[in-house]
Amino acid sequence: MAQAKAVDAPSSPVADKGGANPWLVLLAVSLGVIMVMLDGTVVGIANPVIQADLKASLSDLQWVTSGYLLALAVFLITAGKLGDLFGHKRVFLIGVAGFAVSSVGIGLSAELADVIPGLSPIGALIGLRVLQGLFGALLQPAALALLRSAFPGEKLNQAMGAWGAIIGLSSAAGPIVGGLLVENISWESVFFINAPVGVIALAMGLWLIKDSRAKTLARIDWLGVVLLSGAMFSLVWTIIKAPEWGWGDSTTLSFIGAFAVLILAFVLWQSKAKQPLVPLSLFRNASISIGTVLMMMVAFAMFGAMFFLGFFFQGVHGLSPLEAGLRMLPMSAGMIVASPLAGMAIGRFGPKFTMAGGLLITALSMFLMSQLSIDASFIATGVPFVLLAFGLSPVFVGATEIIVGNAPVDLSGVAGGLQQSAMQVGGALGTAILGAVMASEISDTLPGHLGPAAQAIPADQMAGLAKAAAFGTAPPGLPQPIIDAVHNSFMDGMHVAFLVSTSIAVLTAALTFFVKVGRKAEGVQVHMG
């Protein structure tokens, strides 16, 4: 095995050596990121109510999710660089404050639409979700960099395991918290809850966190920011809009061409820039490159397939928001247990076999969900949810440790942004592509489920039924056979989405066998096979 030249050794971060206990720092930064994770899962439970209240289309609801992911994906690496240059504590606290304020604005979106001419409530909600994503981009890589600075290398696996447990708990608790709030108060309250969490996170952050930044401050590579942001926007926008435009449409091809030109220009500029936004030397480490792909692919499978579960539970299965949240309780318990175990397993056995096993468990979970029936019991949904928790935890913990743990400390913010950006791009890809696959399957199978009655339904009404079926609901007042047909076509589409995710998880498992982690105190050792 040849050993390539190591990435330049990092300087030590500037930090107060008399700082707080690193486990208290972990708690402080986790509180900030909890807001982001809560919103990621709470929205899934709130979506059916938002759709009914604001008369939103499927495209609107995809934008509620994808607009947020787009903002994260475009700004994450830049946000990581800002933390490296100006202090991760400062950037983290700005992100927490902005995320909390924009969350309150989302809860007031109807009131904002009343006072701003031409603005609809759903338009205000989507716009504020984009703003929320920008602030979320500020705090996430900064949080990971603060952990990297607080914990020595030999303790980083344990910290990542604990981090995963805390984040997993907040993410998995989101459906239950969201169900309680939506059912007993309103969908707006799921965003208002970020305000008190943000205040606590700010107070603890100011008290406990000591700042960390690169020893030698560099200028921001603004041309790199523009080129990367433009490329990421073109890619994600294409993914979201191509199902509507058509993949062969000239507009779609134009945006794909723009992405190709911009990403090529970005790579060329990064190879020449004196202070590049993303030092290409990071990717000489095969493990960092593979970890980025792993994070993207597992997020594709998870976010894309999970987007429609809220509609399944509430629309097809007929559960209340709280009951739908409780159905996800097995995943909550699984995440709490699985994340720290994943950190310990990776520390003992290494990421290769641990992550491969996790991906195969994830594939099994997705396959079981592709076999769910309309009247699936708590056990039928609970078993794959537990498996999913134990499957995803090793991948998220392992990929994060590979990317952030192998980057030089001075570039930990950039690495954190890279890790999170890969996750958001993968999620946006999954939501858009699997959403298109599901919608296509619904349109194809709905006439068959309707039987001879399909011949008497006008084309525009059939299209309306297909759109309603994407939410797992049927317009009120229809005969039961038509309602059954709508529900059955939704199930067909959801099954196909989970089968695609199953295949992605199996194929991604093979990538883990190319991971070769080389860690040392002074820099990142790069092992090339």
pLDDT (tens digit per residue) in 44-58: 778 788 877 887 777
Token readout for 303 is 């976010």
Helix axes 286-306, 480-511, angle to 10 degrees: 170
pLDDT at 517: 55
pLDDT at position 72 over 70:
yes
Query: 280-284, 311-315, 415-419: which range is least confident on average?
Result: 415-419
pLDDT at position 109 over 80:
yes
- The DSSP output letter for 528 is E
Q: How many whole angstroms separate alpha carbon 313 and alpha carbon 175?
A: 12
pLDDT bucket at 211, cuts 50 / 70 / 90: low
Q: What is the mean pLDDT of the chain?
A: 78
Cβ–Cβ < 8 Å for 507, 500:
no
Is residue 1 packed enough to be buried (19+ CB in 10 Å), middle (13-18) or exposed (0-12)? exposed
pLDDT bucket at 20, cuts 50 / 70 / 90: low
pLDDT at 527: 29
Average pLDDT value for residue range 64-81: 76
Contacting residues for 161 by C-beta, under 8 A, at least 6 apart: 339, 340, 341, 342, 343, 344, 397
User: Can you state the percent helix, strand and coil of the chain, rounding each to 5?
Assistant: 80, 0, 20
pLDDT at 353: 82
Cβ–Cβ < 8 Å for 126, 70:
no
pLDDT above 90 coverage of the chain, percent: 10
Is residue 248 packed enough to be buried (19+ CB in 10 Å), middle (13-18) or exposed (0-12)? exposed
What are 288-328's pLDDT values in tens digits?
A: 888 888 888 888 877 776 777 878 888 888 888 888 878 87
Question: Do strands 527-528 and 2-3 pair parallel, antiparallel, or not at all (unpaired)?
Answer: antiparallel
pLDDT at position 525 over 60:
no
Any idea which residue has 């030999």 for tokens? 154
pLDDT at 343: 76
Token readout for 363 is 């594939």
Average pLDDT value for residue range 393-399: 81
Evaluate the CA torsion angle 332, 318, 51, 474 in order and state its sign.
positive
pLDDT at position 165 over 90:
no
pLDDT at position 524 over 50:
no
Query: 62-71, 247-256, 512-521: which range is least confident on average?
Result: 512-521
pLDDT at position 503 over 60:
yes
pLDDT at 87: 81
Evaluate the CA torsion angle 494, 495, 497, 502 in order and state its sign.
positive
Query: 107-121, 329-343, 443-457, 511-525: which range is least confident on average?
Result: 511-525
pLDDT at 154: 63
Query: 38-42, 107-111, 440-444: which range is least confident on average?
Result: 38-42
Highest mean pLDDT among 128-132, 161-165, 238-242, 418-422: 128-132
Q: How many whole angstroms separate alpha carbon 219 and alpha carbon 221?
A: 6
Query: 190-204, 301-315, 353-367, 500-514: which range is least confident on average?
Result: 301-315
Q: How many whole angstroms separate alpha carbon 112 and alpha carbon 227?
A: 33
Residues 372-377: contacts with CB under 8 Å, at least 24 apart: 372/312, 372/491, 372/494, 372/495, 373/491, 374/316, 374/317, 374/487, 374/488, 374/491, 375/317, 376/317
Cβ–Cβ < 8 Å for 185, 42:
no
